Amino acid sequence: MLFFNYEEYKILVYTLSGLIFLLYLFLYRRKHAWLKAFGQRALIDRFSKIPNIYRNLLKGLSISAAFCAMSLAILQPKWQTTQDYYEKEGLEIVFVLDVSISMLAEDVKPNRLQRAKMEISNLVRELEDDRVGLVVFAARAFSLLPYPTNDYEKVFLRILNMINENYVRFVPYGTNIGNAFILAMNSFSKENAKKIMIFLTDGEEQIITRSQIAEAVKLLLEKKDIAIYVVGIGDSKKASPIPKRDKEGNVIGYEATEEGETIYTKPNPKFLGEIAEIVGGTYQHDATGDELKHIFTQVIEQNKNIIGIKKKNIIRDVSQYFLGGALALLALYFIL
């Protein structure tokens, strides 16, 4: 269905277009009368370049229609269609992000941490009616949101963007997965919504105790509605150094031990797979970062349940078609 943002001016546009056509006909009749008074009209029609009556009618229609099309384009024409879409229940998703120093390794571009953040941001921007939370962890875990939110741009993404290399170097060294699991499980609300935990880590520098794992499993048994997905990131076949950068972003060296030996980091998929099995979750690994988007999308689609079918109005701007039509009509006017 076609409509205009300024519908009230359509009558004015149509009226002016009609007046332009009548004015063109009036001027043509005056010219015709003048030529008739001049005499020998048949000879003038034969040897002059003045269009005949039919071409003049087409020229008049072309110029008035071109004016009409351009004027309607100014009124912001829109085309509305109705489309059925599946309404899906809202999810509650808590992202658990490893911010240990090994996540600065660049076997995944630009590095493990930045790539994970980029793919989380891309996923969140595509969500609708879902709530998201964020827990980060190194030697300790921290919940960066007091409760899951559906304000993606102003709250979640702003906080996510605050996590950078300076933040990583500020938090205590280590990767305490047990503490992260416990805090993440307690970050979910008590509302009746399907709950998902997406755990992103390279699995390096583990600080984990049996008591923490036992507590995490106990919490999971109490909250059976939580689906857990552990996602490993980084090249597990090749160890990578951890670069140090200056304020301009230039590499000035690599992380080293007190003895001066370069520290290398390599993800541990076997360990992460065992953790996922213990907590009853699913484990997937992405060595390059290219599969993260597919993994995230797959997780969401697996847990979204259809609760109804609704109609959605789709509105498109079609002013370019009116402008194109106006230009074509002007070209026809000058050709005739």
Residues 16 and 126 in one domain: no
Q: What is the pLDDT of residue 203?
A: 79
How confident is residue 36, by pLDDT bands cut at 50, 70 and 90?
A: low
Residues 323 and 298 in one domain: no
Reported as a single tens digit per residue, the pLDDT across 253-264 is 998 888 888 989
Rounded CA separation 276/229 (Å):
7
pLDDT digits (tens, 9 = 90+) for 172-210: 777 778 788 888 888 888 888 889 999 999 877 555 555
Please report which confidence band the pLDDT of residue 315 belongs to, taking 50, 70 and 90 as the band edges.
confident
- For residue 46, the number of C-alpha atoms closer than 13 Å in the C-beta half-sphere is 4
Q: The domain containing residue 44 runs over which residues?
A: 2-82+312-335
Q: What is the pLDDT of residue 271?
A: 84
107 and 214 belong to one structural domain: yes
Q: 278 versus 18: which is more confidently predicted?
A: 18
Question: How far apart are the C-alpha atoms of 68 and 2, rounded to whole Å?
Answer: 16
Which CATH number covers residue 206? Answer: 3.40.50.410
pLDDT > 90: percent of the chain? 33
Q: Mean per-residue pLDDT for 90-94?
A: 90
Same domain, 152 and 297: yes
pLDDT band at 68 (very low <50, low <70, confident <90, very high): very high
The lowest-confidence range among 7-11, 50-54, 229-233, 329-333 is 50-54
Q: Are residues 159 and 193 in the same domain?
A: yes
Dihedrals φ, ψ of 286, to 5°?
-125, 110
Question: What Å distances lie between residue 311 and 38, 126, 146, 176, 255, CA to CA?
Answer: 68, 19, 35, 47, 56
pTM: predicted TM-score of the whole model, two decimal places: 0.66
**Do 127 and 98 have their domain in common?**
yes
Closest CA to 103 of 227, 322, 266: 266
Do residues 147 and 164 both lie within one domain? yes
CB 115 within 8 A of CB 289: yes
The answer, yes or no, to whether residue 135 has pLDDT greater than 90, is: yes
pLDDT given for residue 334 in this prediction: 85
Domain tally for the chain? Answer: 2
Same domain for 196 and 95: yes
Do both 29 and 12 map to the same domain? yes
Identify the pLDDT of residue 152: 93
